[in-house]
């Protein structure tokens, strides 16, 4: 069975006798039967969809690997950019914030900011390319039947691949600036998973949205910039003045990045509320984004 | 899943030996593209249009109420003028475009060679395109590795596999695409204009390969503007005209009618222009 198809049994209208079809057509030479029928905006059977998706996971991995390689192909520093660019970004933000704060920085602020920037870019580096993943997949989409969710998801994989090399950088700076080290830091893995899940959900949402609204990708850079400023990256969560603390709750990344900093930077067990709110956002975004994408994806080919 | 497969395991009556079962059944299929062809489809545009209640989606009815069957092991040729809907119809049979109405039934593993389709990313090398295309089509890495040499050897492009595909000539492009499609061991092969691009040597080779596939009970749908190949390869020819079936039958007759028709239209146009 292939994806984006319905098995013969499922969508046979009741007035047609499925037995007649099986009798006439199915035999030893027909390992697969596909029926294509008018597309209604509806979620296809999820289990077969996920199975097809899983069967083609190699595609997403290979695609991400090639994308990553081609991004830095022929540049002066090559793959060193994977470390250089987030590091430089972190330093720029630090200098900026340090000047604004007049030089009085709370304890561990540099590593808080750096870790936050790395985590934030894990999110935004997935979402921005994902927006273009479907509309830019022209030939592949027009000529091959496969679960389209592979396209935004491989953008997420690229982002993870870009994120991982920044971890050793963070570790070195964390130790060098004398931040505490402890087993509680492992909570960061949970937060990492939340961020990835959330990024995947938002990626699928914008990838499908871009098909209908071609200027979405024009908005995204601004949205991403503002989102960064509204997240506890350039400031500490507990510095938030009264009246603004709702930001940490309504901003999905607010709770995740708060927990992230508590675990990674302070080596403490993050607040359970942050973890749970983050989890709720992540699961919610993944389910909503996934269902929206999957219910629309059969339409993509006629709308490219 | 178990609930879905109910009729797959239904006891099967032996197919009637006289009438080979159809590999592809197309029933009253219409396909409409919805494109924002004139304005770009934008969020801002949509918001402003919501107030004015204007619709900018332009619908292109590429295929209209088409029905036919392709028996197993036969070659169906599809001919027609540019924009007649041939590629659209083939894409629908591949399960890529959902029909707007009607129903398509496909029995067997499909391999597509649509409008020279392997190279979806011309920045990537030939090798990467083959690998990504194969993985997307659902092959495993092992299957791909086993097929890879065969594909390259058939295309005779050994030296070029590590070059970006944008450096390929149109013919090399087509050779690789054809080679990928025929080496996927499909039950059903959908080919959209690929025979025309190769040189004389490769044309001969691909022609022979098609013959071979056809004789080993493969079902082939072939879209081409090459009437000679069509006459020699196809068992039946379907002539699409503006999305509808104009004629369907033995190659010679349909092609003769098609050629006559095209010439008449040509004459009509030139006549009109002269006025
Ligand atoms: N992606 C698309 N979006 C909107 N309209 C499309 C799209 N692809 C094709 N069409 C329209 O559908 C109609 C049929 O196109 P199709 O590509 O099927 O023609 P064709 O018979 O393959 O032509 P050719 O001989 O030139 O390959 C044309 O009018 C074309 O403008
Ligand atoms: Mg065409």
The CA distance from A3 to the nearest CA of chain B, in Å, is: 9
Beta bridge partners of B236: B76
* Domain containing residue B180: 118-186
pLDDT tens readout for residues B205-243? 888 887 787 677 678 888 888 787 788 888 899 999 999
Nearest CA-CA distance, residue A253 and chain B, Å: 25
Write down the pLDDT at residue A151: 92
Q: What is the rounded average pLDDT of the residues A182-187? A: 90
B56 touches chain A (CB under 8 A): no
How many whole angstroms from its chain centre is CA B89?
7
Interface touch A140/B120, C-beta < 8 Å = yes
| Total tally of structural domains belonging to chain B | 1
Domain residue spans in chain A?
1-33, 43-303
Selected residues 80-139 of chain A with any CB under 8 Å from a CB in chain B: 137-139
Number of the ligand closest to the Cα of A142: 1
Interchain contact, A25 vs B107, CB within 8 Å: yes
Q: What percent of chain A has pLDDT over 90?
A: 38
Structure confidence at residue A20 as a pLDDT band (50, 70, 90):
very low
Choice among A31-45, A160-174, A178-192, B237-251 with the minimum mean pLDDT: A31-45
Tokens 């194969």 found at: B134
What mean pLDDT comes out for the span A45-57?
86
Contact B7 A8 (CB under 8 A): yes
Q: SS3 for B113? A: strand
- pLDDT at residue A42 tops 90: no
Long-range CB contact pairs, A19-25, < 8 A, 24+ = A19/B7, A19/B10, A21/B7, A21/B105, A22/B7, A22/B8, A22/B10, A22/B12, A23/B12, A23/B13, A23/B15, A24/B15, A24/B21, A25/B15, A25/B21, A25/B22, A25/B25, A25/B105, A25/B107
Q: Is the CB of B84 under 6 A from ligand 1?
A: yes
pLDDT exceeding 70 applies to what percent of chain A?
87
Cβ within 8 Å, pair A19-B7 = yes
Rounded Cα–Cα distance for residues B207 and B155 (Å): 13
Evaluate whether residue B211 is within a structural domain: no
Identify the CA nearest to B203 among candidates B126, B211, A269, A241.
B211
Q: Is the CB of B87 under 6 A from ligand 1?
A: yes
Distance from residue B86's CA to the centre of ligand 2 (Å): 6
Kindly provide the ipTM of the predicted complex, given to two decimals.
0.70
A62 CB within 8 Å of a chain B CB: yes
Residues B238, B251: contact at Cβ < 8 Å?
A: no
Which residues in chain A are closer than 8 Å to B22, comparing Cβ atoms?
Answer: 25
Neighbours of B225 (CB within 10 A): 14
Chain B CB within 8 Å of residue A230 CB = no
Alpha carbon of B82 to ligand 2 centroid (Å) = 7
- Chain A interface includes B41 (CB < 8 A): yes
Cβ separation B21–A25 shorter than 8 A? yes
- How far apart are the C-alpha atoms of B73 and B215, rounded to whole Å? 7
The residues, ordered by sequence, that sit 6+ positions from A177 with a Cβ below 8 Å of its Cβ are A108, A110, A111
Determine the 3-state secondary structure of B180 from DSSP.
Answer: helix
Residues 12-31 of A with CB under 8 A from B: 12, 18-19, 21-27, 29-31
Q: Is B17 on the interface with A (CB under 8 A)?
A: no
DSSP run (H or E) holding B177: helix B170-182
A69–chain B Cβ distance below 8 A for any pair: no
B62 lines ligand 1 (CB under 6 A): yes
Rg (alpha carbons) of chain A, rounded to whole number: 23
In terms of phi and psi (left: phi > 0; alpha: psi -120 to 50; beta: otherwise), the region of B138 is: left
The interface residues of chain B toward chain A in range 82-111, judged by CB-CB distance below 8 A, are 91-92, 94-110
- B245 CA to centre of ligand 2 in angstroms: 16
pLDDT on residue B46: 66
Q: How do strand B244-249 and strand B236-241 relate by DSSP bridges?
A: antiparallel
Choose the closest CB to B41 out of A22, A212, A219.
A212
Q: What is the mean pLDDT of residues B48-67?
A: 72
Q: Contact at 8 Å (CB) between B41 and A212?
A: yes
Of the listed ranges A71-80, A98-107, A188-197, the least confidently predicted one is A71-80
pLDDT at A175: 92
Contact by Cβ (8 Å): A71, A157 = no
What is the per-residue pLDDT for B128? Answer: 85
Per-residue pLDDT reduced to its tens digit, B68-86: 998 888 889 999 988 899 9
Per the CB < 8 Å rule, is B7 touching A298? Answer: no
Q: Which of A48, A59, A216 lies closest to B136 in CB terms?
A: A59
Q: Measured between beta carbons, which residues in chain B are less than 8 angstroms from residue A5? A: 95
pLDDT of residue B269: 44
Determine the distance in angstroms separating the CA of A7 from the nearest CA of chain B, rounded to an integer. 7
């Amino acid at each position: 069975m292939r994806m984006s198809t319905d098995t013969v049994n499922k969508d046979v209208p009741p007035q047609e006798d499925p037995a007649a079809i099986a009798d006439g057509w199915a035999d030893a030479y027909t390992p697969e039967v596909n029926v294509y029928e008018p597309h209604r905006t509806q979620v296809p059977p999820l289990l077969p969809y996920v199975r097809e998706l899983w069967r083609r996971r190699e595609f997403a991995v290979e695609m991400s690997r090639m994308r990553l390689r081609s991004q830095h192909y022929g540049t002066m520093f090559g793959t060193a950019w994977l470390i250089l660019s987030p590091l430089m970004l972190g330093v720029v933000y630090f200098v900026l914030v340090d000047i604004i704060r007049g030089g009085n920085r709370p304890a561990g602020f540099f590593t808080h900011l750096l870790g936050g920037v790395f985590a934030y870019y894990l999110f935004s580096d997935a979402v921005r390319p994902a927006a273009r993943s479907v509309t830019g997949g022209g030939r592949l989409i027009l000529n091959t039947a496969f679960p389209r969710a592979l396209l935004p998801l491989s953008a997420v994989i690229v982002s993870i691949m870009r994120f991982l090399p920044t971890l050793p950088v963070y570790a070195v700076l964390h130790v060098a600036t004398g931040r505490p080290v402890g087993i509680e830091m492992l909570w960061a893995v949970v937060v990492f998973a939340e961020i990835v899940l959330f990024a995947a959900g938002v990626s699928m949402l914008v990838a499908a949205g871009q098909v209908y609204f071609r200027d979405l990708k024009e908005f995204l850079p601004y949205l991403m910039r503002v989102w960064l400023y509204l997240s506890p990256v350039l400031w500490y969560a507990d510095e938030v003045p009264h009246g603004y603390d709702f930001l940490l709750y309504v901003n999905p990344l607010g709770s995740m990045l708060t927990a992230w900093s508590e675990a990674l930077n302070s080596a403490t067990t993050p607040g359970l509320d942050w973890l749970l709110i983050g989890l709720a956002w992540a699961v919610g975004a993944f389910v909503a984004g996934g269902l929206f994408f999957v219910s629309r994806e059969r339409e993509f080919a006629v709308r490219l | 899943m178990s609930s879905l497969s109910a009729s797959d395991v239904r006891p099967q009556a032996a197919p009637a030996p006289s009438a080979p079962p159809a590999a592809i059944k197309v029933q009253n299929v219409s396909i409409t593209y919805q494109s924002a062809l004139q304005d770009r489809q934008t969020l801002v545009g949509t918001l402003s249009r919501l107030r004015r209640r204007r619709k900018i989606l332009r619908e292109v009815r590429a295929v209209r109420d088409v029905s036919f069957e392709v028996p197993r092991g036969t070659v169906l040729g599809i001919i027609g003028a540019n924009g007649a809907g041939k590629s659209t119809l083939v894409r629908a049979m591949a399960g890529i475009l959902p029909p707007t109405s009607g129903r398509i039934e496909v029995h067997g593993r499909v391999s597509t060679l649509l409008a020279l389709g392997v190279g979806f990313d011309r920045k990537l090398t030939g090798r990467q395109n083959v690998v990504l295309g194969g993985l997307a089509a659902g092959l495993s890495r092992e299957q791909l590795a086993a097929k890879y040499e065969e594909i390259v050897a058939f295309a005779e492009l050994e030296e070029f596999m590590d070059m970006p595909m944008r450096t390929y000539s149109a013919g090399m492009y087509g050779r690789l695409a054809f080679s990928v499609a025929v080496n996927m061991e499909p039950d059903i092969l959908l080919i959209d204009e690929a025979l025309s691009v190769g040189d004389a040597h490769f044309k001969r080779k691909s022609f022979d390969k098609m013959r071979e596939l056809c004789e080993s009970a493969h079902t082939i749908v072939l879209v081409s503007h090459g009437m000679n190949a069509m006459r020699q390869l196809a068992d039946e020819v379907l002539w699409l005209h503006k999305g509808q079936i104009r004629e369907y039958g033995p190659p010679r007759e349909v092609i003769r009618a098609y050629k006559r028709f095209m010439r008449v239209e040509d004459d009509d146009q030139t006549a009109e222009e002269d006025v």
